[in-house]
Amino acid sequence: METRSNHVLVGTVVLILLAVLALFTVWIARLGGASTKEYDIFFKTSVDGLAKGSAVTFSGVPSGQVKEIALWKPDPQFVRVRITVNQDTPILQGTTATISGVGFTGVSQISLDGARKGAEAIGCPDDNPQSQCPYGVPVIPTKQGGLGAILNSAPQLLERLSTLTERLTGLLTDKNQASIAGILANTNRLSAALADRGPEIAATLAQTRVAIQQAGDAAQQIGALAQTSNGVLTSDIKPAMANLDQAILSAKKSADTLNGAVEDVRPGLQSFSKQTIPEVGQLVRDLRVMSASLSSVAEKVDQQGAGSILGQPKLPDYKGK
């Protein structure tokens, strides 16, 4: 009877311990689920070096790990990466994700940064959440990092290197090499000629320097002459111009006075031309008539004597036949 009681007691204790262990496991699971947050990141670049369990850092501080990596079915050029981060990690508006390498091991990690103080947390909108959260968790935008940029530009870089190699190969043909050799030879000859002409070039430079100095002196003299000319204009010509202006003003006044005098005399001149000049003409005609008469009398006295003026002229004697 006692043995059976012991078995029942042991079984009861074991059941109690299993129940406690189950409860503890559930509590740990709930605690772990409540202390982490999940986010999706859609990378358009290659995610080489990433794997499940890869580290997730925020500004260099370890904050979580990669939970899932898969192609995005609606658009296979994107790779969806699901990450879990600690509850206190500030995933705010402005936070971006990049893929960065860890040393030279070829292992990569996801780096988060760019949170701004006072910004709102990244989340799913209440209206149409599928537009921004296609898998039910918030999406962190990406930013092209150093490794992603290198991986994306590697094909273009290789293509450009190939094109550059082909062009260099075409440039370094035998014909072009001969041309380059000729150019170098001509350059050597030109350098030698310049070296031989070194003294002459130095003399020419010296003469040029002297000419430039003389030109500068001439420019200074021209400036001094210009200043002197300005002084002469100021001291001599300007007073003369002032005197000339005064003389012109005086001449104008005199002309105005003469015009006034002519206006005053004009009525007298008109009267003289209309009355006096005709009378003078008549007087001259009368004097001409009187002069002709006097000339006739004088001629008569000269021919016939003074008695011819007083008496009748003497008839000539009559002689009969």
In tens, the pLDDT along 172-208 reads: 777 777 888 888 888 888 888 878 877 888 888 888 8
Regarding whether 182 and 109 lie in a shared domain, the answer is no
Enter the tokens of residue 25: 């496991």
Q: Examine residue 76 and state whether it is found in any structural domain, yes or no.
A: yes
Q: Are residues 61 and 144 in the same domain?
A: yes
Q: Confidence class of residue 318 from pLDDT cuts 50, 70 and 90? A: very low
Stronger pLDDT, 38 or 10, i.e. the higher one: 38
Together in a domain, 189 and 235: no
Q: Which residue has the higher pLDDT, 128 or 278?
A: 128
The answer on 144 and 169 residing in a single domain is no
55 neighbors 86 (Cβ within 8 angstroms): no
The whole-angstrom separation of Cα 29 and Cα 26 is 5
pLDDT band at 215 (very low <50, low <70, confident <90, very high): confident
Q: How confident is the model at residue 315 (pLDDT cuts 50, 70, 90)?
A: very low
* Helix 174-196 vs helix 198-232: crossing angle, to nearest 10: 70
Give the pLDDT confidence score for residue 213 in this predicted structure: 84
Structural domain containing residue 201: 197-255
Q: How many domains does the chain have?
A: 3
> Is the predicted pLDDT of residue 251 greater than 60, yes or no?
yes
Give the residue from 255, 272, 304 where a domain finishes: 255
Mean pLDDT of 43-70: 90
Confidence at 67, pLDDT banded by 50, 70, 90: very high
Residues 62 and 143 in one domain: yes
- Domain end residue (candidates: 89, 118, 148): 148
Cα angle value 166/167/173 (rounded, 5°): 95
* Structure-model confidence comparison of residues 300 and 18, the more confident one: 18
Greater confidence (236 vs 33) lies with 236
Q: What residues contact residue 74 under an 8 Å CB cut-off, 6+ apart?
A: 134
At 124 the three-state DSSP class reads: coil
> Cα–Cα distance between 143 and 100 in angstroms, integer?
11
Whether residue 98 sits in one domain with residue 56:
yes
**Residue 221 located in a structural domain:** yes
| 139 belongs to a structural domain | yes
Q: What is the pLDDT of residue 40?
A: 95
25/31 Cα distance (integer angstroms): 10
Q: Is there a single domain that holds both residue 54 and residue 124?
A: yes
Question: What is the pLDDT, as a whole number, of residue 181?
Answer: 82
- Is 239 among the domain residues? yes
Residues 234 and 170 in one domain: no
223 domain-assigned: yes
Mean pLDDT, the chain, integer? 76
135 alpha-carbon distance from chain centroid: 52
- Per-residue pLDDT, 96: 92
Instruction: Indicate if 43 and 93 belong to the same structural domain.
Output: yes
* Rounded percentage of the chain residues whose pLDDT exceeds 90: 14
pLDDT band at residue 3 under the 50/70/90 scheme? low
pLDDT at 112 over 90: yes
Q: What pLDDT score was predicted for residue 302?
A: 63
**How confident is the model over 261-267, as a mean pLDDT?**
61
- Shared-domain flag, residues 164 and 142: no
Within a domain: 95: yes
